[in-house]
């Protein structure tokens, strides 16, 4: 498995991974509610993902094995993690941990001293175990019950 910057050519496959991760893994967040899922998935299109890969003030990373994209991570420069989605078929293999570490390295390289993200309910324990702390009360996003603003000091 390697982690590399995405190119616009990755957009179709990366988009499919993000959509499957949200739909199949984040049930604790959307609870199968089609309206929540619809809002969440609305901007997860190949066209939008291709824009995220433009390198303009943001990084889009992909974890790749045997030419297949297994996870997608995003960083808004320098210090906000915007995406961290693993394929359902690649869950619990250390891939999100590796991708998160690479996003943090990228933030450090850009001069960030800490990094922020908005966690799903699904991933909240995962981030707590990796040094992230809650920053106040959870908020709702896309109509989900709880999204957790979190921050981690780097270095
Ligand atoms: C929760 C999630 C982010 C973890 O990603 P992953 O690539 O599966 O995770 P890793 O293999 O790197 O980390 C392993 C985690 O799963 C646990 N795990 C490993 N094997 C497992 C198994 N067979 N069954 C259950 N849990 C297992 C590990 O204990 C570890 O969790 P912990 O250290 O916090 O206890 C991912 O599975 C997920 O559900 N993603 C959905 C998308 C999402 O919510 N993204 C965050 C957007 S902010």
Asked if 35 and 143 count as a contact pair (C-beta separation under 8 A), the reply is: yes
What pLDDT, in 10s, does the model give residues 4-50?
999 999 999 999 999 999 999 999 999 999 999 999 999 999 999 99
Report all structural domains of the chain as residue ranges with CATH numbers, in order of start: 2-112 (3.40.630.30)
Ligand 1: residue of 86, 120, 141 to mutate (most ligand atoms within 8 A of CB) is 86
Taking the complete model, does pTM exceed 0.85, yes or no?
yes
Question: Cα of 133 to ligand 1 centre, how many Å?
Answer: 17
Alpha helices in 3-153 (DSSP H): 11-20, 27-30, 34-41, 46-52, 95-109, 124-128
């Amino acid at each position: 498995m390697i982690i590399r910057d995405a190119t616009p050519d990755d957009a179709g496959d990366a988009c499919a991974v993000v959509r499957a991760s949200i739909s199949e893994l984040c049930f604790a967040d959307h609870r199968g509610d089609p309206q929540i899922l619809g809002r969440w998935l609305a901007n997860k299109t190949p066209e939008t993902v291709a824009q995220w890969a433009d390198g303009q003030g943001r990084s889009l990373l992909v974890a790749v094995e045997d030419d297949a994209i297994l996870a997608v991570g995003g960083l808004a420069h320098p210090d906000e993690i915007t995406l961290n989605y693993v394929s359902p078929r690649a869950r619990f293999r250390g891939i999100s941990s590796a991708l998160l570490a690479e996003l943090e390295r990228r933030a450090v390289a850009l001069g960030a001293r800490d990094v922020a993200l908005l966690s799903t309910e699904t991933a909240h324990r995962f981030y707590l175990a990796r040094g992230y702390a809650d920053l106040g009360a959870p908020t709702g996003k896309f109509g989900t019950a709880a999204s957790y603003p979190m921050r981690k000091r780097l270095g």
